[in-house]
Structure 1
Amino acid sequence: MSPVADRIVLSFAPSTADGDPWSGIDTEWIADELRGDTYRQYLRRARGGPVAVGEEWDEFVSCGCATPQDVVLRVERVEGGTVLGDATTLDVHPRDDAEAVSQ
């Protein structure tokens, strides 16, 4: 069995039809939702298992009043193992910020 990763850095970008992923999007609000304990627990369960840098996951966050915002999460860095597990720390950043963090 592969070792559980200590930390995984994820970047996110909203998925929009107009081609500009940041057009009219409240990035801080999305980041807060993605960093919440409930959402991280969901990701550990839904995406648990082997992960690799460059993987992309189509997800969404609630914008309230049953209005979802589609986002694309990308694995930027995996530290200390290769499996997303219950003990893995998930470090989520907007795409531009995560590229700096992952280096």
Structure 2
Amino acid sequence: MASIADRIVLSFAPSAAGGDPWSGVDTEWIVDELRGDAYRQYLRRAHGGPVTVGDEWSEFVSCGCATPQDVVLRVERVEGGTVLGDTTTLDIHPRDDAEAVSQ
């Protein structure tokens, strides 16, 4: 039986068709939304179960005024087990920052 991961590092990048996906994106707003307790709980429930480095999840966050921002979350690192569970800590960073954190 697989064990619950202690910590999972996730990176995110905006999902955009062509061009610079970061152009015009309020990264601070996205980070605040993704790191909120309710959103982390949602991620635990929606993606609970076995996870591996490299898994990608297509999600979105609200940018206010009914404007969603599509993002792609990628599992950068899994520590202490292999299953995303209710007690797993989720560390979420912009893609460039997470790559530095995961090493």
TM-score bracket, normalised by the shorter chain, equals: over 0.9
Aligned length: 103
Q: Which residue is equivalent to 2:75?
A: 75
1:30 is paired with a residue whose SS is helix
- The one-letter amino acid of 1:5's match is A
Sequence identity (%):
86
Letter in structure 2 aligned against 1:52? T
Helix, strand or coil at the partner of 1:73 = strand
TM-score normalised by L of structure 2: 0.98
Structure 1 consecutive aligned stretches of length 4 or more whose deviation exceeds 4 Å: none
1:41-52 equivalence runs, <5 A: 41-52=41-52
> What is the CA–CA distance in structure 1 between the aligned matches of 2:19 and 2:67, rounded to whole Å?
20
Aligned equivalent of 2:39:
39
Judge which range, 12-21 or 76-85, deviates more.
12-21
Whether 2:93 is the aligned partner of 1:93: answer: yes
TM-score (normalised: structure 1)? 0.98
Cα distance in 1 between the residues matched to 2:62 and 2:91:
19
Post-superposition offset of 1:17: 1.7
**1:20 Cα deviation after fit:** 1.1
For structure 1, list consecutive stretches of 5 or more residues without a partner in the other structure.
none
Return the letter of the residue paired with 2:57: W
**Cα distance in 1 between the residues matched to 2:17 and 2:100:** 26
Give the aligned partner of residue 27 of structure 2.
27
Query: What root-mean-square deviation, in Å, do the aligned CA atoms of Structure 1 and Structure 2 show?
Result: 0.6
| 1:19 shift after superposition | 2.8
Q: Note the alpha carbon deviations across 1:14-64, whole angstroms, 9 max, x for none.
A: 011233110000111100100000000000000000000001000000011
